[in-house]
Structure 1
Amino acid sequence: MVMHARETRIREMIEALAAFTASPGKGTTRLTYSAQHRAALDYLVGRMQAAGLSTRIDSVGNLIGRLEGSEPSLPPVLVGSHIDSVPNGGAFDGPAGVVAGIETAFCLQEQGHRPRRSVEVIVMIEEEGARFGGGLLGSRILTGQVDGDALAGMVDGKGVALDEAMSGFGLALENAPDAVIPEGGIHAFLELHIEQGPVLEQTGDAVGVVTSIVALSQLEVTITGTAGHAGTTPMAGRRDALVAAAGVIAELPDLCSKIDPRAVITVGQIEIQPGGANVIPEAATFSVDLRADRAATVAGLKTAVRERLAALEASGFGVTVSELLSVPETPMSEDIRSAMIAAAEDCAFAWRPMPSGAGHDAMVLSRIAPVGLVFVPSRNGVSHTPEEWTDYDQLARGVEVIFRTTRALTA
């Protein structure tokens, strides 16, 4: 078996991207439309062009490199992921998939192979949702799932509106619809990702060929009570929004396990107003992330959460609930899975079928094209922290599967 993907080149790209961070020495912090985002894009443009790709940045900041096929009118095969991060995240979540796409182009170039279908490598914005909330924003825009009003209403944690951030990046919000890819506009989408779990490391398999991605929903809940002086307001008369929120949050794990022990529910963010050490909290806003293997289960979880909040509202607190993101379970394309399995077996790589408990851009792009997703091992199953790690030889094996699958789908 001949390995086409070069481990040294993969490593160079991963390590170069990791240097574009707002938190040196404390993991990767690279938010959408930040200076670090711009620097990383400039670097990737250079690598794409070195791999023989023509490059462009679309109307919302997605970077696309194109290798023109011999029949350019055919819908292309799209390969890629994202480079935005959670605060103080790891170097592999997102960038591994981007590097897989660029390395695929290098492999095609070195083979002197011109595909029949064009290949496009894409770097999507705001997959994590760490700046503007909701997540998967780039792919949702590409598939026409976010309207102009929703985009106009997005504001980051520092009060910067999306349109202002885009303007500082040389983009205009009113041009966002130009980024939409029509159904049938791409032939397939391929993504490589670190597993973010322990299974592949425990089994010793080289790659996971994903069967489906879980259904998920992300809610934003605000509970409103009454502010007051911490020293002069009697305990019996308080309407403390934080205490009320904490009561709800503490009940969510049991609520989840009663509906489906395999489902998961997470509160990862909470913000208190007015935020004074000697002031009773007037408002508490927190996130609720719901995931299960079926959309019906997620719907049941949402209903249970809303019923619990309705009981709180009946007791005198104000409650508002907004759904920032809702995605059903997403089966991967059987044809693409077969091509990925064939690629792994041609390389004598041990592989296993597996579901994805995390959301990925592939689940959104499945609205307009068949999709496939490959996992590579994560050390200790750790992700979204500076300790996130995948050995480069493991990553190279996953990239080789992506390259061979791309070559097969573009033949």
Structure 2
Amino acid sequence: MESVTSLLESIADVGRDGQRGGYSRPVFSTAELDLRGWFIEQAGRRGLDVETDRNGIIWAWWGEPQRGALVTGSHLDSVPGGGAFDGPLGVASALAAVDVLKERGVQPNRPLAVTVFPEEEGSRFGVACLGSRLLAGAIDPDKARNLRDEHGTSFADAARANGLDPAHFGRDDEALARIGDFIELHVEQGRGLGEDGPAIAVGSSILGHGRWRISVAGQGNHAGTTLMADRADPMVAAAQIILAVQQIAAKQPDARATVGRIQPVPGGTNVIASRVDLWLDARHPDDAVTAQLVETIHGKAQKIAAFEGCSVSLTEESYSGTVHFDPALQRQLENALPGAPVLATGAGHDAGVLAARVPSGMLFVKNPSGISHSPEEYVEPWDADAGAAALADVLEALL
């Protein structure tokens, strides 16, 4: 078996971000395309047959593609300045697990596929798990085609430039029928396993979560000639809204709300902005509470904006309700990994999207600090290899 660490080391220089630290690998960037090429090469070395479907998902097959296959995999794109493990750990572990199964002499009684999903993070086009959403019919293809990045490039145009036909985007019942079970291994994005806990956990559920764009409109003007009393400055309102998000979420048990991105228009140093866009991420185990949380934030934002002579609009960009993984499949994972703890996660994953269509489950590998979406994200080499071995145990049991 090629170690997971050696596989990850082979892509360690791809997409390094000298400004933010860590890695920036947005979908269809040079870095992400290089990683897709790396995966195709690694799959070929293992004798897997590779195809890319109409939604841009890569499938590497051990056995003839057919209904009811066992599928595992993850993603290769990243958040801006992300860590080395979020996504690639699951892909590298799946390749290593194939090595383990072959070393054990396993002869699959059904096909096995390793997949790579595009735009899982939503860092370029704003909708997380976009590839799996298209596959599962969880997003309208027209909406997906018309998503635009910060430079105004549409997802349709970016996909077309990389060999896909956007006219064929959308729910793929034939591909879904090929998935008998889907297992995703992922770095743990929290401290559920602790620093000294076991290396592996079985996933139970994913918190309901969504992304909203809050646009604060004011009056653009000259920073030097406009008196303070004459301003309708959306940046001032945006700053107060960001503080209000934190205060509102802190009062709701188990809620998480974050403004992680802010974009002033036009963005000049000596210019009072005419508009400021904020992106809100909100999460809670109860979908009704998430909806109420966002409604409360919106109401407070309207009051803040009005006081500053501005207005606010709220646009939902994506939402995924709380997901509970298939109970029967979860029991099979637990039986294959005796003693492994069971964890819920607050992070979204392709497995959560697919769970609405096919039996899905997850494995988590220990991250000692719990830090993720950051250059400080980390997995010990021995834990990474333990994760690949555990994934192999699960796949063998299911095969």
Taking structure 2 as the reference length, the TM-score comes to 0.94
Counterpart residue number, 1:272: 264
**256 and 387 in structure 1: CA distance in 2 versus 1, 3 angstrom threshold:** closer
Question: Is 2:206–2:352's contact at 8 Å kept on the other side of the alignment?
Answer: yes
- Say if 2:57 is the partner of 1:62: yes
Q: For residue 318 of structure 1, report the CA deviation from its aligned partner.
A: 2.6
- Say if 2:15 is the partner of 1:10: no
How many residue pairs match? The answer is: 397
Q: For residue 389 of structure 1, report the CA deviation from its aligned partner.
A: 1.1
Q: Equivalents in 2 of 1:359, 1:395: separation in Å?
A: 21
**SS of match in other structure, 1:354:** strand
Amino acid in structure 2 at the alignment position of 1:249: I
Counterpart residue number, 1:404: 393
Q: Equivalents in 1 of 2:187, 2:297: separation in Å?
A: 31
Question: Is 2:213–2:314's contact at 8 Å kept on the other side of the alignment?
Answer: yes
Q: Unpaired segments of 5 or more residues in structure 2?
A: none
- Say if 2:182 is the partner of 1:189: yes
Counterpart residue number, 2:300: 308
Q: Equivalents in 1 of 2:291, 2:321: separation in Å?
A: 10
Q: Deviations over 1:204-261 (max 9, x none)?
A: 2221211111000110111100011112212112110010111111111221122x22
Q: Equivalents in 2 of 1:95, 1:189: separation in Å?
A: 17
Counterpart residue number, 1:42: 37
Counterpart residue number, 1:3: none
- Say if 2:338 is the partner of 1:323: no
Counterpart residue number, 1:262: 254
Q: Equivalents in 1 of 2:198, 2:66: separation in Å?
A: 39
**SS of match in other structure, 2:97:** helix
- Say if 2:68 is the partner of 1:75: yes
Q: For residue 184 of structure 1, report the CA deviation from its aligned partner.
A: 4.4
**SS of match in other structure, 1:380:** coil
Q: Deviations over 1:108-135 (max 9, x none)?
A: 2223322122111100001111111121
**SS of match in other structure, 1:386:** coil
Q: Equivalents in 2 of 1:73, 1:171: separation in Å?
A: 23
Amino acid in structure 2 at the alignment position of 1:43: W
Q: Equivalents in 2 of 1:180, 1:92: separation in Å?
A: 31
Question: Is 2:337–2:394's contact at 8 Å kept on the other side of the alignment?
Answer: no
Q: Which moved more, 1:113-122 or 1:218-227?
A: 113-122
Counterpart residue number, 2:278: 286
Q: For residue 191 of structure 1, report the CA deviation from its aligned partner.
A: 0.7
Q: Equivalents in 1 of 2:15, 2:374: separation in Å?
A: 13
Q: Please, which of 353, 357, 362 is the counterpart of residue 368 of structure 1?
A: 357
Taking structure 1 as the reference length, the TM-score comes to 0.91
Q: Please, which of 310, 328, 336 is the counterpart of residue 329 of structure 2?
A: 336
- Say if 2:193 is the partner of 1:200: yes
Counterpart residue number, 1:387: 376
Question: Is 2:195–2:368's contact at 8 Å kept on the other side of the alignment?
Answer: no
**SS of match in other structure, 1:268:** strand
Q: For residue 65 of structure 1, report the CA deviation from its aligned partner.
A: 0.4
Q: Which moved more, 1:174-183 or 1:278-287?
A: 174-183
Amino acid in structure 2 at the alignment position of 1:298: T
**24 and 319 in structure 1: CA distance in 2 versus 1, 3 angstrom threshold:** closer
Question: Is 2:218–2:233's contact at 8 Å kept on the other side of the alignment?
Answer: yes
Question: Is 2:207–2:345's contact at 8 Å kept on the other side of the alignment?
Answer: yes
Amino acid in structure 1 at the alignment position of 2:324: P
Q: Please, which of 136, 146, 156 is the counterpart of residue 153 of structure 1?
A: 146
Question: Is 2:7–2:92's contact at 8 Å kept on the other side of the alignment?
Answer: yes
Counterpart residue number, 1:23: 17
Question: Is 1:58–1:179's contact at 8 Å kept on the other side of the alignment?
Answer: no
Counterpart residue number, 2:342: 353
Q: Please, which of 124, 129, 137 is the counterpart of residue 131 of structure 1?
A: 124
Question: Is 2:48–2:62's contact at 8 Å kept on the other side of the alignment?
Answer: yes
**SS of match in other structure, 1:191:** strand
Q: Which moved more, 1:366-375 or 1:145-154?
A: 145-154
Q: Deviations over 1:280-314 (max 9, x none)?
A: 11100010000111211111111112222333465
Question: Is 1:107–1:403's contact at 8 Å kept on the other side of the alignment?
Answer: yes
Q: For residue 83 of structure 1, report the CA deviation from its aligned partner.
A: 0.3
Q: Which moved more, 1:45-54 or 1:92-101?
A: 45-54
**SS of match in other structure, 1:375:** strand
Q: For residue 41 of structure 1, report the CA deviation from its aligned partner.
A: 1.4
**116 and 292 in structure 1: CA distance in 2 versus 1, 3 angstrom threshold:** same
Amino acid in structure 2 at the alignment position of 1:96: L
Question: Is 2:190–2:371's contact at 8 Å kept on the other side of the alignment?
Answer: yes
Question: Is 2:25–2:31's contact at 8 Å kept on the other side of the alignment?
Answer: yes
Amino acid in structure 1 at the alignment position of 2:258: T
Amino acid in structure 2 at the alignment position of 1:101: A
Q: Equivalents in 2 of 1:172, 1:22: separation in Å?
A: 30
**254 and 176 in structure 1: CA distance in 2 versus 1, 3 angstrom threshold:** same
Question: Is 1:214–1:359's contact at 8 Å kept on the other side of the alignment?
Answer: yes
Question: Is 2:66–2:178's contact at 8 Å kept on the other side of the alignment?
Answer: no
Question: Is 2:209–2:321's contact at 8 Å kept on the other side of the alignment?
Answer: yes
Q: Equivalents in 1 of 2:211, 2:105: separation in Å?
A: 45
**SS of match in other structure, 2:3:** helix
Q: Please, which of 217, 227, 240 is the counterpart of residue 224 of structure 1?
A: 217
Q: Please, which of 88, 101, 107 is the counterpart of residue 108 of structure 1?
A: 101
**SS of match in other structure, 1:387:** coil
Question: Is 1:59–1:178's contact at 8 Å kept on the other side of the alignment?
Answer: no
**SS of match in other structure, 1:115:** coil
